[in-house]
Structures are given as C-alpha cells and as structure tokens.
Structure 1
C-alpha cells in the first residue's frame, strides 16, 4: 500500500483529502497549530523538523496542500506569504526529489491574468496579485527539482466546512440577509469546485502514479460570479433575491483576474472526471452547517 504524506490536513481541502485517501492508502496527515491525533503537528518553516519527519515516515508521495490562500491577506502579510507559499514549498520539493518522493503541489487558477480563457496546462502564467505570484514561483521551484513532481491547479473551492467563513464560496451565505440589501461582486467569473471532487481526482492519479509529473488542471465548468452564487444561496435559504445588488466593477484590495477558466485536457486524456451540480451540493452544505 502506498504511503501518502499530506500537509495542510486541517484545512478545507486537506480534511477531505485525508478522509478520502485514507480509504485506499496509508495517509500521514500534518497540520500546524490545529493538528490533533491522528494528525501530526509539523512546522513547515522548521527545515530540520521537516527532514526528520520525512526520514521517519518515508512516504511514497507527498501532497502539499498547506498555503496562505487569501489574496488580501497575502498582500498585507507578504513575508509570511512568501515563507509558506514559496520557501516551504521549494524546500519540500528539494527534499522529496532527494528521496524519490513524488510531490503533488496544490496551486491555483490565479497564476493566470484572466484575459484569455480557457487556459490549458501549457498556457503562460501571468499572475496579478501576490497570492498568484507566490504560487507561480512555487510552481517553478517544484518542477525544477524533479520530473516526477506535479502541479495541481484548482479554482475557488467549497465543501463541508467547519464554519461557513472557511470557504470563499460558503462565506457568502453569512453576508446575505433576509431583511437588508447586500452587494456582491458580479465582475469576476468563478468556477466553484467541490473539494471532494479534487480528492477523488488525486486518488485516481495516485492509483496510476506512472501518469504523475507536470501540470494538471482540476475544475468544474459551471461559470458564475459571487452575485450569481448569492442568488442561489438566497433561494436555498428562502431570502428575497431583490435584496441582492450586483457590483459590476472590481472592488477588492488585491487585484483579481476576470476569468481563469481551467481546461483540464490532461485529465480528459486519462479519462478522469469528477463533478457535481453546484446548487444541490451547496444546499447540503448550507442546511447542515
């Protein structure tokens, strides 16, 4: 049985990766200050601790899902962002290459500027904000260390949350109201993707490790703005959509790309496809959160 190490196992994506992969692999999950057994605490900024952990557990593959993923936080905390998103990723890539461990690095559609979608895996990156720039730098470092290393680019994610604010999708449900008018971005086009579908895809790739290496895109294909998502949530929660106001110009501090649709051509060639209808999936999340 393959042994898979997972960083960021306490996060939105990481929790679902752990829950899914543990059914087919031996999984060693790590987190930082929120990690409790069976997960291990590991400070990715402590290079000796990382080396010791790799030597102790000797995984066959490592999924690196830990990151600072909020663009506005990245802009306000550039040093911490570079330390986690770039330096820690590059160190992991180097250590994994030396030990013949296949690294799977979770990246983002924000490495693109959103001007010429859809983007193939071979498309030229041109990130607009520090978050995207940090992920692009990490991608380059990861691929430079081994042809066995993989980049997994994903769009905005949603899924079973510990709190609605944990996802940039489900947080919208905390912003809308049954009695007050609220405004929501109607400029940027998003492709919300369920974390379980990311996990199913990585499971399928890990079962066929000969196909790992290089860049993969994983994305659902339902295009919508945050305003569109708010309308769907209002319908689910029984709120009047008339109280929702569309914002047709960008309004956030960190620049966002307009449309970063990811074309998953490599997965299609492998016959790997997982997706679900957004409204039905979201309904189960909102009504149980």
Structure 2
C-alpha cells in the first residue's frame, strides 16, 4: 500500500483526490485554515513545519494541490501568490527530492497564451496573467530540482462543490439564479474537467513504477465550451429559459485570459490513461444538490 500525502485536501480538487485514493492507499490529507480531523493542519509557508510533516508521515508520494488559483486575486496580491504558488512549491520539491518522495505538482493550462492550440506537453509556455506566470515559474523550479517529479497541467475544474462559487464553472449557476437573463463570456474557449477524472488519472499514474514517470502530463476533458455555452447547459438544468441569456463576444475580467488553451494529452494517451465524462449529465448531477 502506497503512502500518499495531499496538500490542499480541503479544496475542490484536493477533496476529490483524497476520496478517490483513500480506499486504496494510506492517505494523509492536509490543509490550512479549514483542516479538521482526519486532515492535518499544515502551513506551507513555514519551512520547519513542512519538514516536520514530511519526516513524521514519511509519504512515498506527495500530491501538491494547494495553490492560489483565482487569476483576479493573483493580479492584486503578487506577494501571496508567489509565496504559495512558487516558493512553497519549490521548497516542497527540494525536500521531496532529498527524501526520495515522488512529487506530483498540479499546474494549469494558463501557462499558455491560447494563440495556437492545442498544446502538447513540450509546447512553449507564454502565460498572459500573473497566475499563469506563477505556475510557469513553479513548474520550472520543480522540474529543475528533480526531473523525476511530475507536473500535472489541468484546465478549469468542476465537481462536488461545497457551495456554487467554489468552482469557476458552478459559479455560473449561481449567476444564473441571481440573473436569469444575465451576460456570459462567449469568447474564451474552455475545457471543463471533472475533479474526479483528474483524481482517477493521478491514481493511475501513482500505480506506475517510478522509473516510468517524470516531467509534464496534460489532463483535460475534450468538450470545448465558452462560459456562455456552459450557462445555456446549466440553464436547462435549473429551469431557466436559455434564450434570455446574453453572449459577450469579448473578455471582461481584470486579469487577461487566453483565448483557447486546449491541452493535448499525448503522454497519457500512450499510457492508455483516459478518464472523461459528458458535461451536461455530470453538471446536472452536481447542480441537483444545490437547487
């Protein structure tokens, strides 16, 4: 049985990773302010605390899912973004390498500028916003410290949320409830991916021999959708007339967004690893708990 530690286990993705891996492995989930038993409280900015955690639990694998992931927040707080997304990731990579712990670092499709999709794992990165820049720097640090570490790039996520605004996908449902005839971005092309599919992919990778791993992997669903198209799909589930919705042909957020960052998962394809699901039916299941 593999011993696996997960940072950010209180978050949307971290919870899915924990619940997927826990029945089959010895899993230690950790979080910061929201961590309650059986999760372990861990402040990733405290290096002595990080070392104590690694030495106490001695995991075989560390999945680093903790991050500041909201682009608009990253634009307004560079210091905190760098501390969590870059410095903490770099320190974890160093400490894991020294202890022989396999690290899986969760990154983002926002390391690309969206001008020439699809992007394979070797494509040149060129992030447009500070969130993407911080993840780009972290990727470079993690892989320079130990090429055996793994970088897992993912797109926008959804899944079993504690509240609708927890995900950039399900927040659209909250917006629909507040304004059934509201406007939604119809410019940026997204690939909404269920957190459980990311977790299942990680489970498959963890099961592989360490010598077969290392470097960058792309994990993404294949349905291309703008937020406006997602809104129309969710409107049908919420009993809202989709014809009332307004499509915005230009981006409106404060942080620049790439147009289309489609991730091409060539390495997973060669390994025979693929976990996908239909967006309409999956989002209906998620929303059924929040009506």
- Shift of the alpha carbon at 1:209? 3.2
> How many residue pairs were aligned?
289
Distance in 1 separating the partners of 2:92 and 2:117: 31
- Shift of the alpha carbon at 1:128? 0.2
For structure 2, the residue ranges without an aligned partner over 5 or more in a row are none
**How does 1:223-242 map onto structure 2 within 5 Å?**
223-242=224-243
Distance 1:5 1:177, change over 3 A: closer
- Deviating 4+ runs (over 3 angstroms): 177-180
Counterpart residue number, 1:55 = 55
Distance in 2 separating the partners of 1:178 and 1:259: 28
For structure 1, the residue ranges without an aligned partner over 5 or more in a row are none
- Aligned pair 1:188/2:188, yes or no? yes
Counterpart residue number, 1:207 = 207
SS at match of 1:176: helix
Aligned-residue CA RMSD in angstroms? 0.9
SS at match of 1:153: strand
Distance in 2 separating the partners of 1:190 and 1:147: 29
**How does 1:82-231 map onto structure 2 within 5 Å?**
82-177=82-177, 180-210=180-210, 211-231=212-232
SS at match of 2:4: strand
Distance 1:145 1:230, change over 3 A: same
SS at match of 2:221: coil
SS at match of 2:124: coil
Tell me if the contact between 2:183 and 2:247 (Cα under 8 Å) persists in the aligned partners. Answer: yes
Distance in 2 separating the partners of 1:177 and 1:7: 33
Counterpart residue number, 2:16 = 16
Distance in 2 separating the partners of 1:156 and 1:263: 15
Q: TM-score, normalised by structure 2?
A: 0.98
Distance in 1 separating the partners of 2:132 and 2:24: 32
Deviations, residues 60-96 of structure 1 (Å, cap 9, x unaligned): 1100000000000000111100000000000000000
- Shift of the alpha carbon at 1:212? 1.9
200-209 vs 174-183, which moves further: 174-183
Tell me if the contact between 2:180 and 2:240 (Cα under 8 Å) persists in the aligned partners. Answer: no
Deviations, residues 84-137 of structure 1 (Å, cap 9, x unaligned): 000000000000011111110000000000000000000000000000000000
Distance in 1 separating the partners of 2:180 and 2:204: 45
Distance in 1 separating the partners of 2:25 and 2:215: 22
SS at match of 2:110: helix
- Shift of the alpha carbon at 1:288? 1.1
Distance in 2 separating the partners of 1:177 and 1:43: 36
Counterpart residue number, 1:287 = 288
SS at match of 1:117: coil
Distance in 1 separating the partners of 2:108 and 2:180: 34
SS at match of 1:127: coil
- Shift of the alpha carbon at 1:35? 0.3
Counterpart residue number, 1:258 = 259
Q: TM-score, normalised by structure 1?
A: 0.99
